[in-house]
Amino acid sequence: MYNQLFPYLSQVRSFHVGEEYATRRLVLAAQTVGMTIWENVLDIGCGFGTSARFFTSEFGSAVAGVDINRLQVCECQRLNESEALVGDQIQVTVSNGVDLPYAQESFDVVWSEDCFSHIPDKGRHFAEVRRVLRNGGYLVFSDLLTTGRLAPTEEREFCASWCLVQLESAESYRELLEAAGFHEVKFWSVGREMVQAHSLADMARGDLSYSEYVQWLHKNRQCLSRQWSDQSFAVSLIRLKMYPFLEERALDHGFVVAQILKS
């Protein structure tokens, strides 16, 4: 799906929930629990590198990015080079979240935005995150969360539409993180805040299902593009159904910060 939508998504640069507002808000949440070091950051699911470039500009971080999608990694490299961010500043590679190509204790921070729901084996994934984090380092991430309020068939349709393996809850994420050895797991529920940060919540209202709406919008792109730019079209695709779900608390969006303390 992402490859099919790439011409549109690449114009948005950042298509996680809340975009740059969410990135800055997640950093602030991490800082409230005492995070001060952003020297070496691993960005899992780095996409086009928007968050990675944010860290280099805001904190002077050295960032390693991994993403399973080769097209997105290539676009990330192109954008980094266009902004002269090469060498040790940002290095990106094609990889998944369960076989990270880095030595033990390589990073102060492992960061991710709306990526972990794509990963099937989260137990193995969090074990890998623990391995590459230095003692005292932090895992900081956001993700869509299930609240149990969607009908099972509707939740499965939503997940299938966005290639999500499974939506976790705040409680199941806490259990997974604690089982992997993380301490001081902190959660923030920010779904409605993300909706309020944008004016697009009503865009997807209607009687069509999520997948039907995506198909309709994609089919009618030529007509719609007379009024919308490609960027507006891409943004609308990202928001379909998701923001009304968040607004109605049928889904949630969560921030998570957890520290690793190794013996």
- Write out the DSSP string of 32-63: HTT----SEEEEET-TTSHHHHHHHHHH--EE
Q: What is the pLDDT of residue 204?
A: 41
Bigger pLDDT: 245 vs 40? 40
Q: What is the pLDDT of residue 201?
A: 35
Q: What is the pLDDT of residues 100-134, one digit of tens each?
A: 999 999 999 999 999 999 999 999 999 999 999 99
Q: What span, in angstroms and rounded, lies between the C-alpha atoms of 163 and 258?
A: 26
The CATH number of the structural domain formed by 2-260 is 3.40.50.150
Q: Which of 55-59, 73-77, 159-163, 198-202: highest mean pLDDT?
A: 55-59
Structure tokens at 227: 């009024």
**Per-domain residue ranges for the chain?**
2-260
Q: What is the pLDDT of residues 198-252, one digit of tens each?
A: 544 344 434 444 455 456 555 655 544 444 444 444 445 555 556 667 767 788 9
Confidence (pTM): 0.81
